[in-house]
Amino acid sequence: MRVKQSSRGCCWWFLVVVTLALVYDAIVYTVHKKTEKSEGAAPIPGPPGAIEKKYVDALKIAMQFFDIQKSGELGHSKRFSWRGDSALTDGSQAKLDLSKGMYDAGDLMKFGFPMAFTATILSWAILEYGDQMAVVNQLDPAQDSLKWITDYLINAHPEENVLYVQVGDPEIDHGCWERPEVMSENRPLTQINKSSPGTEVAAETAAALASASLVFKSDFRYSSTLLSHAKELFTFADKYRGSYSETIPEVATYYKSTGYGDELLWAASWLYHATGDKSYLQYVTGKNGEVFAQWGSPAWFSWDNKLAGTQVLLSRLTFFGNKDTTNLGLQNYRKTAEAVMCSLIPDSPMATESRTDSGLIWVSEWNALQHPVASAFLASLYSDYMLSSGTAKLSCNGYSYKPSDLRTFAKSQADYVLGNNPMKMSFLVGYGENYPQYVHHRGASIPADAKTGCKDGWTWLERKEPNPNVATGALVGGPFLNETFVDDRNNSMQAEPTTYNSAVIVGLLSGPMGVRRSVKSEKPSVVSHLRIMMGQIFVSGQASPSLHPL
């Protein structure tokens, strides 16, 4: 009897919920149809539809490269049998624990500038697409990898105006070919401070910690710590201006900065999202925007130039909640972001000619895939901003394009990376049947039981056999403009992966994998509408206009 009574009670509540859901959907649907008819609004996106398996598989593979690149005591984070603890004494000469963090590429260096960029992009991907990551069990790995970097960045900032930006000597490191687990060479530290400033790396680190503070919002103490460091680092970066590759010339050989204005705007934008403090918004829309933003001049998004990313991030405010059209600074960011998007759509009159014959965005011989993947990530974000805000079209010199056009572009770049290219090769190691076998990567090229050190390890670089260890998830440099690729360990231009490549490919694969439905084909659920609506409501005053998963 109790079971039957309980069942009737559950059914009663279920009927109430369903009835309310149907009524709410009917209201939303009617309002939307009126809006669509009168304003030409785009369909409100429903929940993620059919998840494309190839993108899910690729995402799971791409996420693994972070584990390969981890430094320090791996413990439960050890995923690969050929990886072990390494660099446990990094930072000890300064009485700091800099054992964590990630190795930059196929070498064993910790370069703070691109590592911080890796963290910022990974944070952005989680904030926008964390719900989709969770569906395929990739949210926890993404957060774990992010924290592995942010733990390091916190420790690298021991004083208000001091930041350690590099661990290791590139000349020593690149004079060795050895596994990280056995390296015994000197690991000197490089710092920036008031007398040797490094605005771009301090600002990028501030952006990384500010964005991560949103990711870890549920952990109040950790989030507060991240935000405190971010604020201090931004003040340091802005007050003591100077390029780190000028004040510390030896770093310019590997990650030379072309300017720090973009990082200042990028960091302030993230701090505004993390704090709601309007002084950060005024910073990017006022004089500093006029000096550094290069409004009206689209730029490529990369570890060195954050302008396009800043434009898209600030456009988010104009899509959701900030309808102040008198803020010319925000409108200028939005217009420039639109120009970036127009340049990416292949049949747009503003389309860039920087492409291969098969349609891959191609900007640089070195690490060619960074720019197309980063561009596709931004296009995926922008298309979702358009959809969720009911923005029907993008105007490109009189021609109109839909959010689906941006998503089509984003997927075309992802598909190229995954094997839809003239070489029929996947540039994501471990995905598909044909991927690079001779990745320029020390750990992957040397067996775990090999007894080699700095110099005798070079024999493994020159061997004709494929790598004994698969660098799963590595996104290699990619093809030349003529769409050829030489799979050779000595070919670092094409065959070397980077950690920041992994961040942008994770962001891209998290975005287009969910094919979204609209009310034209199927009414969205109450839950999805509430989620979208709550994500669009930015609380005024000092409250944070938080990012939402789309």
pLDDT band at 547 (very low <50, low <70, confident <90, very high): very low
Instruction: Give the chain's mean pLDDT.
Output: 86
> Is 88 domain-assigned?
yes
Domain range spanning residue 476?
A: 41-536
Contact 393, 400 (CB under 8 A): yes
Average pLDDT over residues 312-325: 82
Q: Please compute the mean of the pLDDT values over residues 433-459 and round it to a whole number.
A: 96
Q: Which two tokens stand for residue 255?
A: 């990650």
Strand-strand pairing, 110-111 and 45-51: unpaired
35 pLDDT band, cuts 50/70/90, is very low
Question: Between residues 192 and 540, which one has the greater pLDDT?
Answer: 192
User: Has residue 550 been placed in a domain?
Assistant: no
Same domain, 170 and 32: no
**Are 430 and 528 in a shared domain?**
yes
Q: Tell me what the mean pLDDT of segment 85-94 comes to.
A: 98
Q: Report residue 76's pLDDT band, with 50, 70 and 90 as the boundaries.
A: confident
In a domain, 542, yes or no: no
How sure is the predictor about 324, in pLDDT bands with cuts at 50, 70 and 90? low
In angstroms, the CA 112 to CA 245 distance is: 12
Residue 30, C-beta contacts closer than 8 angstroms, at least 6 positions apart: none
Query: Would you call 179 exposed, middle or buried from its count of C-beta atoms within 10 A (0-12, 13-18, 19+)?
Result: buried
Do 30 and 129 share a structural domain?
no
548 catalytic? Reply is no
Q: Average pLDDT for residues 451-480, to the nearest whole number? A: 96
Whole-number pLDDT of residue 77: 75
225 is a domain residue? yes
What does the pLDDT look like over 203-245, one tens digit per residue?
999 999 999 999 999 999 999 999 999 999 999 999 999 999 9
The CATH number assigned to the domain holding 118 equals 1.50.10.10
Q: Could you tell me if 36 and 171 lie in one domain?
A: no
- Please check whether residue 544 is in contact with residue 94, taking contact to mean a CB–CB distance below 8 angstroms: no
pTM of the model: 0.86
Q: Is residue 547 part of a domain?
A: no
Split into its structural domains, the chain has a count of: 2
Q: What are phi and psi of 81, to 5 degrees?
A: -65, -25
Question: What is residue 78's predicted lDDT score, i.e. its pLDDT?
Answer: 86
For residue 10, what are the contacts with CB-CB under 8 A and spacing of at least 6?
none
What mean pLDDT do residues 148-152 have?
98
**pLDDT surpassing 90 at residue 3:** no
Q: Please, which pLDDT band fits residue 326 given cuts at 50, 70 and 90?
A: low
Nearest to 148 by CA among 79, 92, 66, 87: 66
Catalytic pick among 32, 157, 229, 440: 440
Residue 261: inside a domain, yes or no?
A: yes
pLDDT tens, 429-444?
999 999 999 999 999 9
Question: What 3-state DSSP class applies to 541?
Answer: coil
Identify the pLDDT of residue 512. Answer: 67
pLDDT of residue 52: 85
Q: In terms of residues, how long is the chain?
A: 550
Do the domain assignments include residue 545? no
Q: Are strands 394-396 and 110-111 parallel, antiparallel or unpaired?
A: unpaired
Q: Output the CA–CA distances (angstroms, integers) from residue 21 to 524, 526, 530, in the order listed.
A: 10, 6, 11
Q: How far apart are CA 306 and CA 14, in angstroms?
A: 49
Q: Say yes or no to pLDDT of 537 above 70.
A: no
User: What's the pLDDT at 520?
Assistant: 29
